[in-house]
Amino acid sequence: MFRTSYPKIFQMNILIKSAKIIAPNQSYNQQVKDILIIDGKISKIEDHIKPEIEIKEISLDNLHVSQGWFDCSVSFGEPGFEDRETIENGLNTAALSGYTAVAVNPNTQPVADTNADIGFIKSKGADKATSLYPIAALTSLSHGVDLAELFDMKNAGAVAYGDYQKPIENPNLLKIALQYTQNFDGLVLSFPMESKVIGKGVVNEGITSTKLGLKGIPALSEELQIVRDLFILEYTGGKLHIPTISTKLSVELIKQAKDKGLDVSCSVALANLILNESELEDFDTNYKLLPPLREEADRKALVEGVKHGVIDLVTTDHNPIDVENKNVEFDHALYGTIGLEASFGLLLQEFPLEKVIKILTSGKERFAIPQEEIAVGNKANISLFNPDSSYEFSKSDILSFSKNCAYTGKQVKGKTYGIIANNRIALKSSLSK
């Protein structure tokens, strides 16, 4: 099986030369500076720094930097689906895609529903450039019947609780979860899908599904669940996150809830922000996603939701699927696409650079993850990139073990070099000396 070679990872003192800092609303924004990093901390930020000790110098074409990027929803497969992606290669992929932190879904076998499971995942992700933060299953075995060991898993390192791409069908279970997690400031995730409305649907319900002869997933299935969840949140209090919304009305519902003062956040998947259901015409299973690709009007509403802050986070929803579960009839293929590698270049096609950096650096606080600005005295947690490189994204750009990518052949703008974080450098091998 093809395996991506790992980047050179260094642990030493570093001098970043002539980097343009993109840090919206911070003091060094849009300034070109040298950045000296000693023992993992930023020691100096000046126009020109001449090192007085042995140093590793980083000087790259059109180098831009920002504080480290965060993705709130990725899947790596391990344990159970290592053929799709291991934690090691997943974190390597994230690092070379510019991400210094990722929240990892319990999309595994077995699912992470005990403190021992969380401890295993944390241990597998230790001592890497990209930090791994586990999302624990909300219910035992993700079966939606009994709450899992939420408090114990928080103590083991879980940052949130949710059954990946599975709705909480029992409204009383969500009520109890929101009440219980208030005791330790826990964040509950509720996937917005009413399963009885979906039935056997596989794509967005509409003209395209009718034309292709595929069963539809109506927008109603998402919106009904969101309305229910918001009513429960208003009753119970607590912290609710609604992952990967996909319709125009969903954006409006979230806005109304925020205007009421409810403690709710939401995310949108990169695919729903960039693509629409027209991609389905060739029955390519790489476009079989959950939530499904919707109409262009929905996509535009999601873009506006991001621009105006109604949508809090954009996630790649990176989900490697093995070829045996994608190279089948559309109805039988598994949902999911990888997306870490293409995310920066795709977002730059839709938003200006400063907004893209705001998108990529948002959300850590919601998941109780520390955020380090680029400032003297702070730990170095930095993403390195070139925003002006336009190219066609191809299979050669994919670092994941699985190649189920909805973005192959798409035009992108901007390339990532890697990251500096956790007193390590992860650079693409062609750049490492």
Q: What is the 3-state secondary structure (H, E, C) of the chain?
A: CCCCCCCCEECCCEEEEEEEECCCCCCCCCEEEEEEEECCEEEEEECCCCCCCCCEEECCCCCEEEECEEEEEECCCCCCCCCCCCHHHHHHHHHHCCEEEEEECCCCCCCCCCHHHHHHHHHHCCCCCCEEEEEECCEHHHCCCCECCHHHHHHHCCCEECCCCCCCCCHHHHHHHHHHHHHHCCEEECCCCCHHHHCCCCEECCHHHHHHCCCEECHHHHHHHHHHHHHHHHHHCCEEEECCCCCHHHHHHHHHHHHCCCCEEEEEEHHHHHCCHHHHHHCCHHHCCCCCCCCHHHHHHHHHHHHCCCCCEEECCECCCCHHHCCCCHHHCCCCEECCCCHHHHHHHHCCHHHHHHHHCCCCCCCCCCCCCCCCCCECCEEEEEEEEEEECCHHHCCCCCCCECCCCCEEEEEEEEEEECCEEEECCCCCC
Q: How far apart are CA 307 and CA 359, in angstroms?
A: 9
Domains and CATH numbers, the chain: 9-65+374-394+411-427 (2.30.40.10), 68-360 (3.20.20.140)
Q: How far apart are CA 93 and CA 91, in angstroms?
A: 5
pLDDT category at 430 given cuts 50, 70, 90 is low
Of 37, 31, 126, 124, nearest to 77 by C-alpha is 124
- Residue 10's contacts (CB-CB under 8 Å, 6 or more residues apart) are 56, 424, 425, 432
Residue 8 pLDDT exceeds 70: no
- Answer for the pair 179, 234: CB distance below 8 angstroms, yes or no: no
- Quick one: average pLDDT of 223-239? 98
Q: How far apart are CA 346 and CA 406, in angstroms?
A: 12
Cα 106 versus chain centre, distance: 14
Residue 129 pLDDT exceeds 90: yes
Please give the pLDDT value at position 431: 55
Cis peptide before 51 (omega within 30 of 0): no
- Answer for the pair 300, 308: CB distance below 8 angstroms, yes or no: no
Please give the pLDDT value at position 329: 95
Average pLDDT, the chain: 95
Please give the pLDDT value at position 219: 97
pLDDT tens track for 340-376: 999 999 999 999 999 999 999 999 999 999 999 999 9
Pairing of strands 187-189, 14-21: unpaired
Q: What b-and-e string marks burial along 329-352, b requiring 16 or more CB atoms within 10 Å of the CB?
A: ebeebbbbbbbbbbbbbbbbebbe
Of 270, 359, 362, 283, nearest to 319 by C-alpha is 270
- Quick one: average pLDDT of 130-155? 97
Residue 432 pLDDT exceeds 80: no
Please give the pLDDT value at position 3: 38
Please give the pLDDT value at position 7: 56
Please give the pLDDT value at position 54: 86
Compute the half-sphere exposure of residue 228: CA atoms within 13 Å on the CB side of its CA: 20
Q: How far apart are CA 403 and CA 93, in angstroms?
A: 12
Q: How far apart are CA 243 and CA 191, in angstroms?
A: 6
Please give the pLDDT value at position 261: 98
pLDDT tens track for 37-76: 999 999 999 999 998 888 999 999 999 999 999 999 999 9
Residue 11 pLDDT exceeds 90: no
Cβ neighbours, 10 Å, residue 373: 15
Backbone angles phi, psi at 386, to 5 degrees: -120, 110
pLDDT tens track for 171-215: 999 999 999 999 999 999 999 999 999 999 999 999 999 999 999
Compute the half-sphere exposure of residue 152: CA atoms within 13 Å on the CB side of its CA: 12
pLDDT category at 5 given cuts 50, 70, 90 is very low
Please give the pLDDT value at position 2: 33
**Assigned token pair, 230:** 């918001």
Please give the pLDDT value at position 53: 82
Confidence (pTM) = 0.95
* Annotated active-site residue in 163, 312, 317, 322: 317
244 φ/ψ sector (left φ>0, alpha ψ -120 to 50, else beta): left
Could you confirm whether 39 is annotated as catalytic? no
- Quick one: average pLDDT of 134-145? 97
Residue 394 identity (one-letter amino acid):
S
Q: How far apart are CA 342 and CA 409, in angstroms?
A: 11
Please give the pLDDT value at position 1: 30
Please give the pLDDT value at position 12: 74
- Residue 324's contacts (CB-CB under 8 Å, 6 or more residues apart) are none
pLDDT tens track for 238-283: 999 999 999 999 999 999 999 999 999 999 999 999 999 999 999 9
Residue 10 pLDDT exceeds 60: no
Please give the pLDDT value at position 27: 87
Percent of the chain with pLDDT over 90: 94
